[in-house]
Amino acid sequence: MRKNIVAGNWKMNMVNDQAKELALSVVENSDTVSCQLIIIPPFTAISDVQKVINKSNILLGAQNCSQHKSGAFTGEVSADMLTNIGCSHVIIGHSERRAIFGEDNQLLSEKVNHALNSNLIPIYCCGETLQEREAGNHFDVIKRQIEEGVFNLSEDLFGKIVIAYEPVWAIGTGKTASADQAQEIHKFIRSLVLEKYNETIANNISILYGGSVKPDNAKEIFAKPDVDGGLIGGAALKATDFIAIATSF
């Protein structure tokens, strides 16, 4: 069943005491939230945050995982390690991983498969840069990211993932795609899923918008028929803003 989801990506912010305080504030103010909340702290804070949220309905995610199950991969974190400490979700293919760390669609496809094999739900990110949009290539870019990253999955496995559309030009810039622009891309992604799989899967997959979502624009964006929530960055670092966004449905 298609879910409304608001996931907070804390990125490389919050040492453990700060993370616990923020998580507790989210828990204490989440009683008015009807959508699924996911908190995604840095690796070092995951265990402490899990202890704070473990009796709530809030789920726990990680910001990345390795494509490898185990072995001599210094500095990497496997999906099994994440599920073992309470994670249910993992972000794969965030634009910062693509742009800064050079992760391509083939590598991300391997990470998606590894996560699913470990019962971890991927939040698979796609999105275009400003240059790609201005050149009119944004549909081709997104189609390629989706096809090469997740269309190798069986119907059963694909039905378990979440997709997040994040226009790279609207991340951390203060710019936001208009609600109509977000709807246009979300509808396009859903049409790709329909063409590849079937109507049931296309109608049931949750597609989140990520790109400078704030309390004052969330309601308009979330009102669009193909937008099922948000992958929230900066606004997730303040509990009141995060909760305000989550109550915007």
pLDDT digits (tens, 9 = 90+) for 50-69: 999 999 999 999 999 999 99
Contact status, residue 111 vs residue 65, Cβ threshold 8 Å: yes
Contact status, residue 118 vs residue 87, Cβ threshold 8 Å: no
Distances (CA, A) of 210 to 55, 116, 163, 175: 27, 22, 10, 11
Q: Span 99-104, mean pLDDT? A: 96
Residue 225: how many other CB atoms lie within 10 Å: 9
Query: What pLDDT does residue 212 have?
Result: 86
Q: How far is CA 192 from the centre of its chain?
A: 19
Q: How far is CA 238 from the centre of its chain?
A: 18
Q: Span 68-72, mean pLDDT? A: 97
Assign 244 to helix, strand or coil.
Answer: helix
Q: Span 161-178, mean pLDDT? A: 85
Sorted by where each begins, the domain ranges of the chain are: 10-246
Q: For residue 207, give both structure tokens.
A: 């597609």
What confidence category does residue 171 fall into, taking pLDDT thresholds of 50, 70 and 90? confident
pLDDT digits (tens, 9 = 90+) for 226-243: 999 999 999 999 999 999
Query: What pLDDT does residue 177 have?
Result: 82
10-246: CATH topology: TIM Barrel (3.20.20)
Instruction: Using the predicted structure, report yes or no on whether residue 130 has a pLDDT greater than 90.
Output: no
Query: What pLDDT does residue 42 have?
Result: 98
In whole angstroms, give the CA distance from residue 80 to residue 117: 9
Instruction: Using the predicted structure, report yes or no on whether residue 176 has a pLDDT greater than 90.
Output: no
Residues tagged active-site = 94, 166
Query: What pLDDT does residue 175 have?
Result: 72
In whole angstroms, give the CA distance from residue 235 to residue 245: 9
In whole angstroms, give the CA distance from residue 170 to residue 211: 5
Query: What pLDDT does residue 221 have?
Result: 96
Instruction: Using the predicted structure, report yes or no on whether residue 211 has a pLDDT greater than 90.
Output: no
pLDDT digits (tens, 9 = 90+) for 131-141: 899 899 999 99
Query: What pLDDT does residue 143 have?
Result: 98
Query: What pLDDT does residue 45 have?
Result: 98
Query: What pLDDT does residue 1 have?
Result: 76
What confidence category does residue 173 fall into, taking pLDDT thresholds of 50, 70 and 90? confident
Query: What pLDDT does residue 201 have?
Result: 98
Q: Give me the percent of the chain exceeding a pLDDT of 90.
A: 93
Distances (CA, A) of 6 to 56, 105, 215: 15, 25, 12
Instruction: Using the predicted structure, report yes or no on whether residue 92 has a pLDDT greater than 80.
Output: yes
Contact status, residue 101 vs residue 207, Cβ threshold 8 Å: no
Contact status, residue 67 vs residue 105, Cβ threshold 8 Å: no
Q: How far is CA 97 from the centre of its chain?
A: 13
